Structure 1
Amino acid sequence: MQHAAQDAREGAPARAVYVIVAHPRWRDSRVNRRLLEAARGIEGVDVNDLYSTYPDFSIDVAAEQRRLARADLIVLVHPIYWYSMPPLQKLWFDEVLSWGWAYGQDGHALANKDLWLVASTGGPEDSYRPDGYNQHPFAAFLPAYEQTSHLCGMRFLPPQVLYGARRCDDAALDAHVGEFAGRLATYPHWPELISMAHAAECQAIPSTDRPHFSPAEAMDTNAGTGRAA
């Protein structure tokens, strides 16, 4: 995949976008429901409402990998749960981004793609600083996303975050949704991408760190992380 800035200069068509929205309780959603509706309204954008697609948490790994393979931009849309992602989104990572496909020996399926996080927090922005109750800036909670991108050879784009989602006014919410929709519709022609470096090469991992298992052994091991049962 060529650099996004080069595409913009050459007037290339918009690239494929896969939006993965994960909210465990849509009835309580104020922000993510709007983002889901906005993404569905943009022609050519592939949208997956993860909790509706997999209500039993039984993820179709092959189908997800096909959708990822077609995409140039992968978008994660979800509220922040305990400084991380909702549980089904985490399971999606564990099962779909498997050794030998997304990372590790011969795992280059995601190389040179872009990963973009669109998140909402319950706490206001001033809670994400040393003197706030979260004690750290929001960026301090992003290493897992960033390292996942690096390991798979993807480029992690600057997140779009809506702080204090439960209490923000309608104007702020409208602006957040409008910016999100505009970016989906215009990717990769974002001004900030012009100066961003290419995605790093997939991080090399010794095969001994993530060995291949026999079918019987694989039943007792999570393929996405090598985590023993």
Structure 2
Amino acid sequence: MEQGGFHGRAAGGGGQLCPSDDGRRQASRADNAAADVFRRSLASRSRRTYESSRFVEVPAECDILRPRRSSLLVQSQRVLVLFAHPAVQKSRVNRRLFAAAQSVPGVTTLDLYQEYPDFQIDVRSEQARLLEHDVIVFQHPFYWYSSPALLKEWQDLVLEYGFAYGRNGTRLRGKALLNAITTGGSEEAYARTGHNYFTMRELLTPFEQTARLCGMVYLPPFVVHGAIRMTHTAEVERAADDYARVLAGLRDGRVTTETAGSFDRLNADLTALGL
């Protein structure tokens, strides 16, 4: 299987250990343009209608074919959820969230630990998968202020120089990235007065900078705090329902940099988010 090589390891892993000056200049330019590219993709993409989980393309110019008031009419963004949990059988909240993601029509889901139990990631296959989608969601527990090992390995290999960043590395430009995470600590713990000191957005800075370097738009995260203390089924189901609504909003183009930019996390207030 394709391994990508050391040259594909961005920010630590051998070979090109960190982005070059050229890469940093590219990130600065791309950061200003990425949001505009993402917005244009929302405006120009063909409309799609769907019945169950099957999509049928309707060309954007064929207004006469387009129902005006149907709830099935969506401006579709292709959403990919990459799920990483090394002990999903022991997880209650993350497992239910992933099931909710799998239930949303038009959303692609992949369990990385199921796909790559030996950590032998098919780099070219994963890169092709990224190119087929507009919104990338990293769903995972927040282990030691980061992601589980396989998702980190996936980033090191798949987001390689010349594909995701660096000279000619523009293949992901204009796409959107966000994290969907669970934490053991409460929301109050992620503050200057809490035992984690830093806010969640501050702790997610490496992911945000990864998005910037790749010319992607980084959206606020979906965060379920205090997951280990969720003892009531109703709490878990509410979180799963919120997650499904956010994914549907991303798919339909209702969650954008304009609508979500002022939120610390996407599920802080779904009504205010327009969901």
- Provide the rounded CA distance (Å) in 2 between the counterparts of 1:125 and 1:183: 19
Residue 52 (structure 1) shift: 0.5
Give TM-score scaled by structure 1 length: 0.79
Residue 211 (structure 1) aligns with: none
- Picking from 230, 249, 262, the partner of 1:186 is 249
Mapping for residues 64-83 of structure 1, pairs under 5 Å:
64-83=126-145
User: 2:184 matched to 1:117?
Assistant: no
Residue 53 (structure 1) shift: 0.3
Residue 43 (structure 1) aligns with: 105
- Provide the rounded CA distance (Å) in 1 between the counterparts of 2:177 and 2:130: 11
Corresponding residue pairs, total: 197
Residue 2 (structure 1) shift: 4.8
SS in 1 for 2:140: strand
Query: Contact 2:83/2:111 (CA < 8 Å) preserved in 1?
Result: yes
Residue 149 (structure 1) shift: 0.4
Q: Deviations over 1:163-200 (max 9, x none)?
A: 11011243332222112111222324325533568xxx
Residue 225 (structure 1) aligns with: none
Runs of 4 or more consecutive aligned structure 1 residues displaced over 4 Å after TM superposition: none
Query: Contact 1:14/1:186 (CA < 8 Å) preserved in 2?
Result: no
Residue 203 (structure 1) aligns with: none
Mapping for residues 132-211 of structure 1, pairs under 5 Å:
132-168=194-230, 169-187=232-250, 188-190=252-254, 193-195=257-259
SS in 2 for 1:24: coil
After superposition, the Cα gap between the structure-2 partners of 1:123 and 1:92, relative to the gap in structure 1 and judged at 3 Å, is same
Identity among equivalent pairs (%)? 41
Query: Contact 1:115/1:154 (CA < 8 Å) preserved in 2?
Result: yes
Residue 155 (structure 2) aligns with: 93
The gaps in structure 1 that reach 5 residues or longer are: 198-229
Q: Deviations over 1:81-111 (max 9, x none)?
A: 0000100000000000000001100001100
